[in-house]
């Protein structure tokens, strides 16, 4: 009895055909699919401003932005984009840094060889190392220019004083990140730079064994701040390990936390400071007591 | 003129960022000044014409009634951010393909690098070691700079000039930060391009001579007066520093109360704010260059000499 079987298979075929048709429909309009909706949560409709805003607000990576922003603030001429560029470079450094960590051992025996290995044998290893190095330099420049811009537009003034202070901490952290990374190749350049740098710590007032009042407080080369920084009295294996941990774990975590605060405060302080309408000298309010 | 020497220093891969700064800082200064001049012209117009001040939108950017004052972040901001990321990635790629990160011989404590320099962003501090003892140059001074930066917003009581580029409304603040930034950059440039073996002064283009010996006798201020008694030396140093602070305070006070606007701002400043401002301005903006000149021009090493610390 071939009849029913044929009917059954043709029904199955119909169903398959229908589903393929649906699939093609879905591919043409991916935004209608269950998968898409589950990922993006809100409908995106380019004609409706409200959903545009939701597209930004409902996305974890974009929600640090407001939904709308001062029309002149998107001009490059105002912020120079330097804060954003510094942050982007931080991301690039994190990415390339993690890749470098796969090839690097923070030990006196291996560190230098690992760099040679990276330069000569690891596919794209040289490019990776170069990118990490130059992105670090660029980030320092970016942060300086960002600070310069904030001063020139008076953006540190009320109510952004505190965020300026957070920024100063970020500047210090950025410099410390660069500095701790300098020792890691374990070559002459880093070794002597870090030796010169940490030698200053000997002279810390009160806490260094060569600093004013240091010896009087019982500081020796084996218990002062420099010893704590290096994990020893000379730049050696322990210093390498400490630099590595500060550079790859501690400072990035601290810096990322402060960046979170920094961005949060940009929003809470009323968004980017300008370009705002100019205020005139004749409109200065009379002196008021502080508080 | 030893061009090979110049090229050797300038083209050192780790020095490229400084060369970049030498281009970028002037460029952005010009870029900001251009906008500041445009704003200042607008401010002058509005001050002169109260009627216009009431109706004008008060920005140098074009605006017409009916235009939205705010734009959606998507796409107007995000597309710029995306573009910026793309451009930065491109620059970084090209830079990384064309220039290799430096790698010297393996670290060797028995073989001193000469000159051994800190990374360029710290070379300014290293240069300060010439003028001050390590406890001051390496510890106190960086702390003062960081704290000074942090108090900056709290002592600037000028309510004008938030959120736009302007020069005429913020002369004092801009000059203050500008001088500090300039000193810092100058130190970096001296440390990188001028200091050679033994951290000796080699003019750009002068060949680095590793055998050069300079018989430079440094003196302390009390020596100039022939004072040898420790107590008298300390007292003289303290007097000299006190006179310096008083004189600078007077000079700075004259400068920051010159115009009518500056006097109005001064009136809004509390005594604490003003004292803190003066302290940082004198110590960092005047004291630093003064001590540098004393050392470079008059070979004076210490002003204050005591058995415990010297400045
Ligand atoms: C790792 C370093 C830093 C990152 C990633 C960062 C990032 C940002 C970003 C993305 C913005 C938004 C506006 C813009 O792009 O200009 C911003 C604003 C701001 N930043 Fe930073 N920043 C850093 C360091 C600093 C430093 C060193 C300072 C000052 C000492 C500072 C002070 C400020 C202030 C006051 C604002 C508000 C500006 C305004 O409203 O116009 N930041 N920062």
For residue A243, list chain B residues with Cβ-Cβ distance below 8 A: none
Q: What whole-number distance in Å separates Cα of residue A234 and Cα of residue B161?
A: 50
User: Which residue range is the domain that position B216 belongs to?
Assistant: 3-60+74-102+119-298
pLDDT of residue B26: 97
Q: Is A197 helix (H, G, I), strand (E, B) or coil?
A: helix
Distance, in Å, from the CA atom of A56 to the CA atom of A61, rounded to the nearest integer, reads 9
DSSP three-state, residue A188: helix
Separation CA A283–CA B50 (nearest Å): 11
What is the set of domains in chain A, with CATH numbers?
A: 80-268 (1.20.810.10)
| Consecutive 10-residue averages of pLDDT for chain B (311 residues) | 83 87 96 96 92 89 86 88 96 94 88 83 89 89 96 94 94 95 94 87 84 79 84 90 96 94 91 96 94 89 84 84
Residue B181 lies in a domain: yes
CB B58 within 8 A of CB B163: no
Contacts by residues B288-292 (CB-CB < 8 Å, ≥ 24 positions apart): B288/B128, B288/B131, B288/B141, B288/B183, B289/B183, B290/B244, B291/B131, B291/B132, B292/B131
Supply angle C-alpha A20, A22, A24, rounded to 5: 70
Nearest to B133 among A68, A81, A203 (CB): A203
Q: Are the Cβ atoms of B164 and A276 closer than 8 angstroms?
A: yes
pLDDT digits (tens, 9 = 90+) for A243-259: 999 999 999 999 999 99
Residue B305 lies in a domain: no
Both structure tokens of B111: 């073989």
DSSP secondary structure string for all residues of B177-214:
HHHHHHHHHHHHHIIIIIB-GGG-B--TTS---TT---
Asked if A156 lies within 8 A of B152 by C-beta distance, the reply is yes
Pinpoint the alpha helices (H) of chain A. Answer: 2-28, 34-40, 49-57, 76-79, 82-101, 111-120, 125-152, 161-183, 188-202, 225-230, 237-245, 251-268
Q: Structurally, how many domains does chain B consist of? A: 1
Q: So what's the pLDDT on residue A288?
A: 62
* Closest residue to B17, CB basis, from A141, A151, A190: A141
**B183 domain residue, yes or no:** yes
pLDDT of residue B153: 96
pLDDT of residue A3: 60
Whether B99 contacts B16, CB under 8 Å:
yes
The complex scores an ipTM of: 0.94
Q: How far is the CA of B24 from the centre of ligand 1 (A)?
A: 18
Contact B161, A154 (CB under 8 A): yes
Q: Is residue B307 part of a domain?
A: no
Low-confidence residues in chain A, pLDDT < 70: 1-4, 44-46, 288-291
Give me the residue from B47, B105, B170 closest to A187, CB to CB: B105
- Across the interface, which of A65, A72, A168 has its CB nearest the CB of B146? A168
How far apart CA B212 and CA B217 sit, in angstroms, is 16
Handedness of CA B231, B236, B237, B241 (dihedral sign): positive
Nearest CA in chain B to A88: B85
Cα–ligand 1 centroid distance for A184 (angstroms): 29
The reported pLDDT for the residue numbered A41 is: 75
Q: Is the CB of A112 under 6 A from ligand 1?
A: no
Residue A133: phi, psi to the nearest 5? Answer: -65, -50
Instruction: Please state, in angstroms and rounded to a whole number, the distance separating the CA atoms of residues A150 and B269.
Output: 22
Q: Which of B62, B101, B182, B272 to mutate to test the interface with A (most CBs of A within 10 A)?
A: B101
**What's the pLDDT score for residue B212?**
80
Residue A274: list chain B partners with CB under 8 A.
Answer: 162-164
- The reported pTM is 0.92
State the best of B48, B71, B107 to mutate against chain A, taking most chain A CBs within 10 Å: B107
Task: Give a yes or no: residue B108 inside a domain.
Answer: no
Residue A229, both tokens:
């920084």
Optimal mutation site among A77, A151, A209, interface B, most CBs of chain B within 10 A: A151
CB of B140 closer than 8 Å to CB of B223:
no
Chain A closest-CA separation from residue B311 CA (Å):
12
């Amino acid at each position: 009895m071939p009849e029913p079987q044929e009917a059954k298979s043709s029904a199955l075929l119909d169903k398959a055909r229908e589903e393929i048709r649906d699939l093609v429909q879905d591919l043409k309009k991916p935004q209608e699919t269950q998968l898409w909706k589950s990922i993006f949560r809100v409908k995106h409709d380019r004609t409706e401003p409200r959903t545009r805003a939701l597209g930004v607000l409902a996305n974890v990576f974009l929600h640090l932005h407001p939904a709308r922003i001062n029309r002149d603030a998107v001009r490059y001429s105002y912020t120079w984009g330097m804060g954003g560029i510094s942050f982007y470079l931080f991301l690039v450094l994190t990415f390339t840094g993690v890749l470098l960590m796969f090839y690097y051992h923070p030990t006196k025996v291996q560190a230098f060889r690992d760099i040679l290995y990276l330069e000569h044998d690891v596919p794209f290893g040289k490019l990776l190392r170069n990118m990490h190095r130059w992105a670090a330099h660029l980030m320092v420049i970016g942060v300086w220019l960002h600070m310069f811009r904030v001063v020139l537009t008076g953006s540190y003034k009320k109510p952004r004083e505190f965020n300026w202070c957070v920024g100063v901490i970020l500047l210090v952290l950025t410099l410390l990140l660069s500095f701790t990374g300098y020792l890691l190749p374990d070559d002459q350049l880093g070794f002597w730079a870090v030796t010169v740098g940490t030698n200053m710590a000997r002279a810390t007032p009160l806490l260094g064994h060569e600093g004013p009042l240091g010896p009087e407080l019982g500081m020796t080369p084996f218990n002062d701040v420099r010893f704590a920084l290096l994990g020893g009295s000379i730049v050696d294996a322990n210093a390498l390990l400490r630099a590595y941990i500060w550079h790859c774990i501690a400072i990035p975590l601290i810096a990322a936390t402060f960046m979170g605060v920094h961005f949060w405060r940009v929003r809470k302080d009323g968004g980017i400071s300008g370009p705002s309408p100019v205020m005139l000298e004749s409109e200065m309010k009379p002196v008021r007591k502080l508080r | 003129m030893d061009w090979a020497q110049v090229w050797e220093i300038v083209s050192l891969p780790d020095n490229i960022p400084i060369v970049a700064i030498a281009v970028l800082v002037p460029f952005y200064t010009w870029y900001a000044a251009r906008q500041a001049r445009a704003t200042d012209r607008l401010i002058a117009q509005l001050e002169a014409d109260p009627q216009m001040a009431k109706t004008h939108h008060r920005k140098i950017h074009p605006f017409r009634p009916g235009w939205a004052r705010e734009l959606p972040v998507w796409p107007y901001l995000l597309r710029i951010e995306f573009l910026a990321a793309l451009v930065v990635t491109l620059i970084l790629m090209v830079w990384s393909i064309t220039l290799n990160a430096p790698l010297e011989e393996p670290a060797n404590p028995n073989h001193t690098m000469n000159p051994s320099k800190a990374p360029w962003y710290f070379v300014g501090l290293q240069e300060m070691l010439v003028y001050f003892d390590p406890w001051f140059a390496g510890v106190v001074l960086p702390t003062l700079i960081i704290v000074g930066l942090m108090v900056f917003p709290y002592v600037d009581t000028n309510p004008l000039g938030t959120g736009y580029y302007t020069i005429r409304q913020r002369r004092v603040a801009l000059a203050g930060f500008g001088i500090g930034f300039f000193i810092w950059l100058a130190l970096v440039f001296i440390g990188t391009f001028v200091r050679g073996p033994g951290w000796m002064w080699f003019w750009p283009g002068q060949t680095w001579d590793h055998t050069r010996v300079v018989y430079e006798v440094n003196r302390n201020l009390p020596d100039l007066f022939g004072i040898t008694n420790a107590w008298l030396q300390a007292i003289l140093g303290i007097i000299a520093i006190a006179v310096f602070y008083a004189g600078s305070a007077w000079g700075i006070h004259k400068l920051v109360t010159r115009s009518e606007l500056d006097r109005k701002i001064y009136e809004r400043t509390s005594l604490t704010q003003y004292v803190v401002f003066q302290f940082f301005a004198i110590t960092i903006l005047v004291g630093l260059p003064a001590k540098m000149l004393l050392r470079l021009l008059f070979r004076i090493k210490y002003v204050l000499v005591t058995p415990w610390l010297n400045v």
